[in-house]
Each structure stands twice: as C-alpha cells, then as structure tokens.
Amino acid sequence: MYAKVIFVILLSIMVFSLSHTAFAAHPSTGVILPLYVSPGSVWHDVIQEKIKHHKVPMLVIINPLNGSGQVKNNNYADGIHQMQSHNIYVLGYVYTEYGIRNSTDIKNEITNYKNWYNVNGIFFDQMSNVPGNEIYYADLANFVKSLGLTFTVGNAGVDTKPSYIKTVDNIVIYENDTLPSVQSLSGWHKNYDKHNFSIIAFGVDGLNKSFVSEASNSIGYLYVTNGKIPNPFNSIPPYFGDLVDTLDTHPPVAHHLILTIGSADLSKNELKGMWTELHNAKGNTIFQGFGPRSYVVTSGSTYTVFVSDFQNIKFDHWDDGSTNPYRTITPTQDITVTAYYNDRPDVNP
C-alpha cells in the first residue's frame, strides 16, 4: 500500500518535470545545431527546414560574441523570436573553462540571455568530465531554471561520467571531425534515457543516412556538418535538409530486448522471491511478480523498475550504486539490472 502511494507521488513529480522540459521528452531524435553566425540567410534556411519537418525537435545554439556580449543585439533578438515562433528551441552559448571559470560571470551572461533575448535555455561549452565538478554545473543549471529557462546542455565533447547525468538536461559526449562508431554510443549510456546525450560531428563531407538512423537509437540529439576548423559552425552543410529528413522519415527502429531484474544480498548471493514491478513511461504497470524475472521490452523505450522490501530484507542499492528503489532505464540491448538487499538493516555493510 505504502509503495503504491510513493509511486503515485513520484509519478506526479515526473509528470511535473516533463511538463517543464517537454522538448527533452520528445520520443524522436532531434537536431542540435551550433549556429555561430549572425542572423541572416542561414537562419532563414534553418527555419525553412523546421517548417518542412515540424515533428523533428530542433535545438539551435546562438553565440552573439563568445557569449552574450555586453549589450543587446536587436538583430539577434528578432532572429531568435522568428525561430521560437516556429517551435525551435534557442540556447545561449557560454563557456565554462572546464569548471574553473567564475560562476558569477557565467550567471551574469545567463541573465543577459534571459533579459535581452528570452532564450529557451543555455549551452555550457567546455564542460568538465572529471569527478568533482558536478556541483558546479548543477548549480549553474539550477540558476538557469530559476530564471524560467527550461533546457540546459553541457558540451563535454568527449565521453563523460555517469555522475554528470542530470547535472544538466543533455550532455554532448562527442564533438570531433569524424563520425563516431555506433557502438561507442551504447556503452554505459544504455542505462539512461537517450535524451541525456548528444553528438556533434564536423568535417564530414557527405551524409551517412544509415549512421544517422542507427545512432538515433542511442542519442537524443545530433548534428553533422561539412564545416571545418577554425569555425565549423558558421554555416549549415548542403545536406542539412537530408539530415533533418532522415530523422523525420527514419525514426529509431524498435527492437525487442530482454530486460532481467536480478536480486542478491550484499555478498552477491542470489535472492529469490523479491517483488519486482515494471512500468512504462506513462507510469502504467506492464508486468509484476516475484524475481529474479526477465521481461521482453522495446529498444529505445523508457521504463521504470521498482523493487520492494520483504520483512527484514531491505533494499540497499542497485548495481549502478543508486539507492532509490525506482530506477529509470532506456535499454538499447539485452540488459540485467540487479537490486542488492541488506537482510540486517541494523548493521552497516
């Protein structure tokens, strides 16, 4: 009874959060587009592709002067308004120097973006990926949300640590001058919603549609361009329309996978007869029963797993270290998640 009440409360919190970051919860893979060029014909071309493919989520990062600059630019204000009127999310660029830039300076820029341009969110460039800077980015992201902006992206540019998940809404885990391998996108990341991750590839002369379709199973947002250093992002590639069209007409392919919910004591001995539940993204119960238990699930779909205590056998943690009995996962391959229990709750492990 108490577990069901807790679940209803948690579900209400999840619904509230999604209503404030609905763009991030879109089931399709979208475009994340660094647009480091002044408003003009390129901005117009981006809007036209959004009009053609209105179902494809689109994040556009604007960068007036290596950040917000010191004064409002009316051309940017007008251009941003035009994009937002076509349901394009606009993010303001700020750099963070891998966690050492003064956070007050960054917050001043964020405030400028809010007051001058009313952007939808903030793009944190040069994001750290080493343990210890998570609070720095979580604090900045919370400040963004406190101003009423709704979306944050951190650009690590390389693979990051699970501890950075949820410090921002999305992390760019690849930014380089070639395409990454599809396999590199489905490592530890498979335990999390794909919308936590983005990739950006530049210097790519032609569009690989097969890559785009396959990567969209593991990545929430992506961008590929033929632009080259020193500024790969002052234009859009000639195949930009094909990129958006591929995401629109070739959504992630649904595959059936096996999700196994295991249970063990703190010595890793298997426990049988522990209650498990599997809920879909809407909070509906799909399956429930005594574990260990395996379920057939759909690749790329999001599920919540729940395990409960029994008498003096108390849930302690999951195999990823989390201590909440509710665990959200988005599997892209067969996966086993194990809940560990402490049968002597009065004794610290």
Query: Tell me, what's the pLDDT at 333?
Result: 77
Query: Tell me, what's the pLDDT at 284?
Result: 87
Rounded to an integer, the average pLDDT of 269-291 is: 88
The CATH number covering residue 297 comes to 2.60.40.10
Do residues 193 and 54 share a domain? Answer: yes
In a domain, 222, yes or no: yes
Q: Is the pLDDT assigned to residue 7 strictly greater than 70?
A: no
In a domain, 1, yes or no: no
Backbone torsions φ then ψ of 13, nearest 5 degrees: -65, -40
Do residues 16 and 47 share a domain? Answer: yes
Q: Which of 186-190, 226-230, 338-342 is the least confident region?
A: 186-190
Do residues 135 and 270 share a domain? Answer: no
Lookup: tokens for 58: 């689109």
Do residues 243 and 263 share a domain? Answer: no
Confidence label for 45 from pLDDT (cuts 50, 70 and 90) = very high
Q: How many domains does the chain have?
A: 2
Query: Tell me, what's the pLDDT at 17?
Result: 36
In a domain, 322, yes or no: yes
Query: Tell me, what's the pLDDT at 158?
Result: 97
- Tell me the pLDDT tens digit for each residue of 137-177: 999 999 999 999 999 999 999 999 999 999 999 999 999 99
Contact between 213 and 250 (Cβ < 8 Å): yes
Do residues 82 and 207 share a domain? Answer: yes
Torsion of CA 262, 264, 269, 273, to 10 degrees: -80
Do residues 166 and 313 share a domain? Answer: no
In a domain, 173, yes or no: yes
Work out the percent of the chain whose per-residue pLDDT is above 90: 70
3-state secondary structure 212-244: HHHHCCCCCEEEECCCCCCCCCCCCCCCHHHHH
In a domain, 168, yes or no: yes
Higher pLDDT, 299 or 64: 64
The last residue of one of the domains, among 203, 234, 249, is: 249
Do residues 197 and 278 share a domain? Answer: no
- Which residues does residue 306 pair with via DSSP β-bridges, in sequence order? 277, 326
Do residues 303 and 186 share a domain? Answer: no
- Tell me the pLDDT tens digit for each residue of 201-237: 999 999 999 999 889 988 999 999 999 999 999 999 9
Query: Tell me, what's the pLDDT at 252?
Result: 53
Do residues 268 and 337 share a domain? Answer: yes
The CATH number covering residue 21 comes to 3.20.20.70
Query: Tell me, what's the pLDDT at 18?
Result: 32
Query: Tell me, what's the pLDDT at 187?
Result: 84
Q: Is the pLDDT assigned to residue 245 strictly greater than 80?
A: yes
Confidence label for 288 from pLDDT (cuts 50, 70 and 90) = confident
Do residues 164 and 46 share a domain? Answer: yes
Distances (CA, A) of 342 to 79, 194, 325, 328: 57, 32, 13, 22
In a domain, 283, yes or no: yes
Mean pLDDT for the chain overall = 88
Q: Which of 112-121, 137-146, 288-297 is the least confident region?
A: 288-297
Do residues 111 and 131 share a domain? Answer: yes
In a domain, 5, yes or no: no
Confidence label for 42 from pLDDT (cuts 50, 70 and 90) = very high
Q: Is the pLDDT assigned to residue 22 strictly greater than 50?
A: no
The last residue of one of the domains, among 249, 280, 308, is: 249
The span from the first CA to the last CA of the chain, in angstroms, equals 28
Confidence label for 3 from pLDDT (cuts 50, 70 and 90) = very low
Query: Tell me, what's the pLDDT at 299?
Result: 76
Confidence label for 332 from pLDDT (cuts 50, 70 and 90) = confident
Do residues 264 and 335 share a domain? Answer: yes
Query: Tell me, what's the pLDDT at 287?
Result: 84
Confidence label for 50 from pLDDT (cuts 50, 70 and 90) = very high
In a domain, 348, yes or no: no
Confidence label for 297 from pLDDT (cuts 50, 70 and 90) = confident
Query: Tell me, what's the pLDDT at 19?
Result: 31
Q: Which of 215-219, 258-262, 329-333, 342-346 is the least confident region?
A: 342-346
Contact between 310 and 275 (Cβ < 8 Å): yes
Whole domain around residue 143: which residue ranges? Answer: 10-249
Confidence label for 26 from pLDDT (cuts 50, 70 and 90) = very low
The last residue of one of the domains, among 218, 249, 280, is: 249
- Residue 139: closest CA among 103, 93, 114, 109: 103
